[in-house]
A and B are shown apart, each in its own frame.
Chain A
Amino acid sequence: MQDQPPATAMQYWVYELRVEEPPMTVWGEAQLAAAKSSFGAHPYPLGETNDPVYKSCLPPGVPRIYTHPFPVQILQTQEQVAMLFEYDSMRRHIYIDGCPHDTSLGPSRMGDSIGHWEGDTLVVDTINFNDKTWLDRVGHPHSDALHLTERFRRAKDHLFDDITIEDPKAFTKPWTAHLDFLLRPKWRLEEQFCEEGETFQGIEEKETTPGK
């Protein structure tokens, strides 16, 4: 059951989208500096983090959901491609029926996604994000101007997602990341979320109570 891909191709993106720093604006740099992440080069203890996911068990949003190491199930019909994430039971609905973006209910954490096929590549366009989530688990920011373009294609047991991130408030120019998923035919999605009474902050309390 254990796969051993090259560590250099994999380890970094467990909590951020790529190794290189994205090209941030002054605003973006300030947001990153204010983020007290429990990951990265200088991690904060859970009791001090201001990460909305680990402080308050709030949903991660997109593209941060890709940095949480839990599986995703893809359901495909004529109307949509649905991505069901085990982490926090998040999901995305990518409408491929030709309908335009629907922003009538206001912005959301997962944004509004539409897609179309270019040969064997699914091109997904996502807008209408709110600004309540971090871009990743390190604390890189995004604003409600975030615009994602993703190109999904399969190569045998791999699913590649070439993602272009545009957000003129947070980044000085668009930048890209390459994500690689491995097909797991025998896995099933299970439940994953903060349990009542057993949150990350509750775990922090156990971790930091001096031994008796």
Chain B
Amino acid sequence: MKKSAARLILLLFGVLFISGSLLAHHGEANYDTTTVVSVKGTVTDFQFINPHVQISLDVKTDKGEIEKWVGEARSPSMLGRIGGWDKNTIKPGDVITASGHRTKNGANFLRLIKVVLPDGREMGNL
């Protein structure tokens, strides 16, 4: 970085990034990272907020019952610039397939790895 006489220099640096699946996630102890679980359901809520984006789904079981699931992704800022998301990427009523690592105690909670949107697009880097 050379010295600047009078002008303001702006630079923006990101971490030297790797694909999302290699990044350690805090609280990983809660998750079974050996298995990928996929559920298909209807979005009931889309919280595009810090510190983690959360997607709530109603998933119909084989018995016709409704299970409530939550999928968690990274921050809105990183989803936007790395994952190609914005606040309108999904909305309540959309049918999506969410895949990720489930919590070890059997909670209906996924640390998301991939989401398939209604139009078939596959979104990774979550």
Q: Which residues of A contact B (CB under 8 A)?
A: 1-5, 7, 9-11, 14-15, 38-39, 43-46, 49, 54, 69-78, 81, 86, 117, 120, 122, 137, 152-154, 158-159, 180-185, 187-195, 198-200, 203-204, 206-212
Complex alpha-carbon distance, A71 and B23, angstroms:
15
User: CA A123 – CA B26 in complex, angstroms?
Assistant: 32
- The reply to whether A200 and B11 contact each other, CB–CB distance below 8 Å, is no
Q: Which of A11, A117, A209 contacts B18 (CB 8 A)?
A: A11
Q: Which residues of B contact A193 (CB under 8 A)?
A: 50-51
**Cα(A5)–Cα(B23), bound, Å:** 13
Q: Check A71/B8 contact, CB under 8 A, given A122-B1, A195-B51, A200-B26.
A: no
A136 vs B9: C-alpha distance when bound (angstroms): 29
Within the assembled complex, what's the spacing in Å between the Cα atoms of A46 and B26? 8
A209 nearest CB neighbor, chain B only: B107
| Complex: chain B residue closest to A2, CB-CB | B19
Mask, B112-126, CB within 8 Å of A = 1, is 000000000000010
Q: A78-B5, A117-B3, A195-B51 are in contact. Are A43 and B16 (CB under 8 A)?
A: no
Could you list 22 A-B pairs, sorted by A, with CB under 8 Å?
A: A1-B84, A2-B19, A5-B18, A10-B17, A10-B18, A38-B26, A38-B29, A46-B27, A73-B13, A154-B1, A159-B13, A184-B12, A184-B14, A187-B12, A190-B75, A190-B77, A194-B50, A195-B50, A198-B47, A198-B54, A200-B51, A208-B107
Q: Is the CB of B13 within 8 A of A211?
A: no
Contact present for A74 and B13 (CB under 8 Å): yes
- Per a CB cutoff under 8 Å, which of A152, A180, A210 touches B16? A180
Q: Which one, A75, A153, A198, A203, contacts B10 given CB within 8 A?
A: A75
Bound-state Cα–Cα, A187 to B14, Å: 8
Q: Measured between C-beta atoms, what is the minimum distance from B26 to chain A in Å? A: 4
Whether B109 contacts A207 by the Cβ 8 Å rule is yes
Interchain nearest-CB distance for B46 vs A (Å):
13
A residues near B10, Cβ cutoff 8 Å: 73-76
Q: A43-B28, A54-B27 are in contact. Are A192 and B50 (CB under 8 A)?
A: yes
* A5 close to B51 (CB less than 8 A): no
Question: What 7 new A-B contacts, CB under 8 Å, besides A190-B80, A194-B51?
Answer: A14-B15, A38-B27, A74-B9, A181-B16, A198-B50, A209-B107, A212-B67
Nearest CB of chain A from residue B68's CB, rounded to whole Å = 6
Residues of chain B contacted by A69 (CB below 8 angstroms): 15, 17, 23, 78
CB-defined interface of B37-65 with A at 8 Å, one 1/0 digit per residue?
Answer: 00000000001011110100000000000
Taking the complex as formed, is B96 at the interface, i.e. its CB lies under 8 A from any CB of chain A?
no
- Using A210-B107, A211-B106 as known contacts, say yes or no to A191 and B77 having CB atoms under 8 A apart: yes
Q: A45-B29, A45-B30, A200-B26 are in contact. Are A76 and B8 (CB under 8 A)?
A: yes
Decide: A76 and B9 in contact? CB cutoff 8 A.
yes
